[in-house]
Chains A and B, each alone.
Chain A
């Protein structure tokens, strides 16, 4: 048994030695450099929500992004788009988190770096635990696991596409919200039904028609929604 563990550790160590990057910071900086090429983008997204206590038809919205963190969602109809995932800018991760390289693992038969993110500023008693998985070869975000509170966690899986033969950008994001407390616990029932946020479920987002570096006006981010 000891031998088995020894070989596993050895394999893990050798993989790390073989890796292109030795620290989490190097990896994130490399990812950031890839995204530096993108000043802004517009995309149409189709989102489907499948969550407890929420019934929403498929949503079609237009999103505008400008680095570092400007984001605008435009829709004629009602839309609820998860903030996590769609607003995530890998280039900005190091601003808010200290990253630690855990190792190289496999997701969907692809090698990925697993990094642990520790928030630089802890605002609450609960310290959120987050892990990001970055593709070993192409350095794009593959997965994010985050516990937002003691009871709530979110998993985000990214599928990327090669846009304009230059940029790896998400073409599909699947967000999975989980709640660890069952519905029947007294703590939860104390809150009126209507004030509870939707609990568990999935949100699937499909990105289409990327327009990268189109230089749209900044006023997009300041305009108010028309009634």
Chain B
């Protein structure tokens, strides 16, 4: 099984499109950081902090690397999912497009093992992309902007987290982000099992993601009954790591819904793939 995963990893990382995500974050993050560095410390002074300055002396380096890394995590709503679908959507459909399915399945392995190895590869790619974002935004951010306490905004309230808490909190945030992104990757993987062209799964995943995000964030009472079961409701679960006191019930619920969705999507992929008439 391990050699199968290794083989799939080798195939995936031999493709040019796998690096599009890494190149994108490798350009965007330093670019944003450069702009933030040029704008000085003002970027953290917007909104509530600016109004608080009327009554309070505000001291300390708020425009620091931690704050920058938190800002970058806002891209986990739509931008990073798109980069993930580029690879996840290609996992099965790519084989069909290039006509290598039958060739791969000639080997004495079961379809389920083949699918599982591809799926693990997708998850490894997803985790690596989140890790790259973490490394770049935190590493470069802390190096250039320095360290300090973190100011976290949550529904109009301000939470200041002490510097000594932040390393663990960010690890938790990136773990939660990896789970959220894995749901998106699994959805793209599911669509990839339907078709023989990678464009379809990418577009379908993004369309569903955007639709569900709208429903999850729309303040309409009609949707309130459905929201707790939508994985997009927990797309920002990483932000729970920056609450003043960690609400483990909320975190556990988010993880439960997301992991359940992952399992459901994977079982559907497996069912479809096992019954699929492979002609290419």
Contact = CB atoms under 8 A, between A and B. Distances in A.
Interface string A66-89: 000001011111111111101000
Interface residues of B, number: 33
Interface in B155-205: 155-163
Contact of B160 (A56, A84, A177): A56
Contact of A83 (B56, B60, B157, B161): B56
Contact of B146 (A57, A77, A196, A227): A227
Interface string A167-196: 000000000010000000000000011111
A83 B56 CA distance: 5
B69 interface: no
Nearest to B58: A80
Residue from B47, B157, B163 whose CB has the most chain A CB atoms within 10 Å: B157
B51 interface: yes
B57 A197 contact: no
B151 A195 contact: no
Nearest to B51: A197
Contact of A77 (B149, B157, B244): B149
Given A197-B54, A227-B146, A53 B156 contact: yes
Interface in B36-60: 41, 47-48, 50-52, 54-60
A33 B230 CA distance: 69
B96 interface: no
A54 B55 contact: no
Given A77-B148, A196-B48, A54 B59 contact: no
Contact of B60 (A77, A84, A177, A192): A77
B41 A227 contact: yes
Given A77-B162, A197-B48, A82 B60 contact: no
B7 interface: no
B121 interface: no
A107 to B, nearest CB: 24
22 contacts: A53-B48, A53-B158, A54-B158, A55-B160, A56-B159, A57-B161, A73-B59, A75-B60, A78-B149, A78-B160, A79-B57, A79-B58, A79-B60, A80-B57, A82-B56, A177-B55, A192-B156, A195-B50, A195-B51, A196-B156, A227-B41, A227-B146
Given A80-B56, A81-B59, A225-B61, 20 more contacts: A52-B157, A55-B159, A55-B160, A56-B160, A73-B59, A75-B60, A77-B148, A78-B160, A81-B56, A83-B55, A84-B55, A193-B157, A195-B51, A197-B48, A198-B52, A198-B158, A225-B59, A226-B61, A227-B145, A227-B146
Interface of B: 41, 47-48, 50-52, 54-64, 145-146, 148-149, 151, 153, 155-163, 244
Interface of A: 52-57, 61, 71, 73-84, 86, 177, 192-198, 225-227
